[in-house]
Amino acid sequence: MAKNQSFDITTGVDLQEVDNAVNQAKKEIAQRYDFKGQKAEIEYDRKAAKLTLAASDEFYLNALWQVLQERLISRKVPIKNLHREKVEPAGGGTVRQEVKLAQGLSQETAREIVKFLKERKLKNVQTQIQGDAVRVTSPSRDELQNVMALLKDQSYDVELQYGNYRSQ
């Protein structure tokens, strides 16, 4: 009997790297001349996996986001997994924006991936949604590599990660 090979498709960000990037961004903002006398704050809630940006106005909020984004990119945090919410007015004439960190595939994205793979009618490839991940199983490693290549050409609202390779 042939062994089945499998891997999981997931997404997420390294929360420690996000923490490091936030700390670096805070240091840079404290030293930058254009932010002197302006409100510019970044709050990081690790448990809720979200960032809150607060600034004097939208211009400074966007500048704050640029600084943070540069730090995240340099720490190899996928920016595609950060979802900016609507800018809201805050107290004292300031503005605030939440940024949610994607940890795990949403049900819609998981269904899109499964539907996409089913439409390709790949031989002996089976998919299964398991919580916030999609498990792909096949007797052939070549087919699994083919699945990965097909998915890399697609665009989803998050960056896909492949892991948990197994032979059964």
Q: pLDDT tens-digit profile of 111-166?
A: 888 888 888 888 788 888 888 888 988 888 888 888 888 888 888 888 888 888 77
- Which fold, 15-101? Alpha-Beta Plaits (3.30.70)
Q: How far apart are CA 129 and CA 114, in angstroms?
A: 8
pLDDT tens sequence across 46-63: 898 999 999 988 998 999
Q: How far apart are CA 124 and CA 38, in angstroms?
A: 60
Q: State pTM to two decimals.
A: 0.81
Average pLDDT for 73-83: 91
Q: Give the chain's length.
A: 168
Is residue 2 pLDDT above 70, yes or no?
no
The CATH number fitting domain 5-11+105-167, selected from 3.40.50.300, 3.40.1260.10, 3.30.70.860, 3.40.50.970: 3.30.70.860
